[in-house]
Amino acid sequence: MEIRFSRHAKRRTELYGIPQATIINILKETELNLRTHELIRNIEGFKYPLKIVVAVEDDEIKVITSYPLKRGIEK
C-alpha cells in the first residue's frame, strides 16, 4: 500500500518535529481497514503520545494529520 501525507500532515510533522519515517513505521505495524482511523501511540523520545489520523482507500493510506496528544490518552 502506498502511504501519502496531506499538506496539513506534512506541516504538522515539521511543526512538532515528528519524523515521517516514525509515522510510516507505525502504519506498517498496524492492521488497517477501509475507513478513517485515529491511532494513539506512545513513542520513545516524545513527552506525549502521538495521535495520527489516517484515511484508507483501496491501495492508499493518506495521513490526514499527526500531533502530540497533550491531554494524554483519551478514553
Q: Which domains does the chain have, with CATH numbers?
A: 2-68 (3.30.2310.20)
pLDDT of residue 73: 58
Q: Helix, strand or coil for residue 71?
A: coil
Tell me the CA end-to-end span of the chain in Å, nearest whole number: 30
User: What are the residues whose beta carbons fall under 8 Å from the beta carbon of 66, sequence distance 6 or more?
Assistant: 9, 12, 13, 16, 18, 23, 50, 51, 52, 53
Query: Global pTM?
Result: 0.86
Q: What is the pLDDT of residues 18-73, one digit of tens each?
A: 999 999 999 999 999 899 999 999 999 999 999 999 999 988 999 999 999 986 55
Bridge-based pairing of strands 2-5 and 50-57 is unpaired
Give SS3 for 2. Answer: strand
